[in-house]
């Protein structure tokens, strides 16, 4: 009985790890970018907005 309980716990841990890995790959696949790339894009957008604001005045 204790062996069965241990196997169920191990199976639950492995299943949860697989779910987390699948979510991560889906997020990467949809976004297609890493966190550093997102940061670079955000910085470029802010710079472009700032430049446009300066050109308007």
pLDDT digits 0-9 by tens, 25-55: 877 666 556 666 767 788 888 888 888 877 7
pLDDT at 7: 96
Paired tokens of 52: 């446009």
Paired tokens of 55: 């050109």
* Contact (Cβ atoms closer than 8 angstroms) between residue 9 and residue 1: no
Rounded to whole angstroms, how far apart are CA atoms 57 and 53? 7
Q: Is the pLDDT of residue 24 over 70?
A: yes
Q: Name, in order, each residue with C-beta under 8 angstroms of 14's C-beta and a sequence gap of 6 or more.
A: none
The reported pTM is: 0.47
């Amino acid at each position: 009985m204790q062996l069965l309980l241990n196997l169920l716990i191990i199976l639950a841990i492995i299943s949860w790890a697989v779910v987390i890995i699948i979510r991560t790959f889906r997020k990467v696949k949809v976004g297609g970018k890493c966190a550093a790339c997102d940061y670079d894009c955000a910085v470029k957008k802010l710079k472009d907005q700032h430049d446009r604001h300066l050109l308007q005045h």
